[in-house]
């Protein structure tokens, strides 16, 4: 599989493992959407930031 032809969605892309994975995918030519609670915290050129809110619904 050629990473340069792929699209990836990475959660937690603003820090830690998510950030590392985002940078690696970008360096290999992938189009990367990055999810974080605060999309302004994603300061990686070439990334498309997405606001992500996860909630657990109780019944």
What pLDDT digit, counting tens, does each position of 1-57 carry? 788 889 999 998 888 999 999 999 999 999 999 988 888 999 999 999 999 887 888
Cα-based distances in Å from 25 to 6, 14, 56: 9, 14, 30
The residues, ordered by sequence, that sit 6+ positions from 42 with a Cβ below 8 Å of its Cβ are 13, 14, 34, 36, 49
Question: What pTM did the predictor assign?
Answer: 0.82
30 vs 21: CA distance, rounded Å: 11
Q: What is the pLDDT of residue 25?
A: 96
């Amino acid at each position: 599989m050629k990473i340069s032809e792929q699209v990836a969605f990475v959660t937690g892309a603003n820090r830690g493992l998510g950030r590392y994975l985002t940078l690696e995918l970008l360096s290999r030519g992938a189009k990367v959407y990055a999810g974080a609670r605060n999309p302004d915290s994603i300061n990686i050129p070439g990334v498309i930031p997405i606001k992500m809110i996860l909630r657990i619904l109780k019944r």
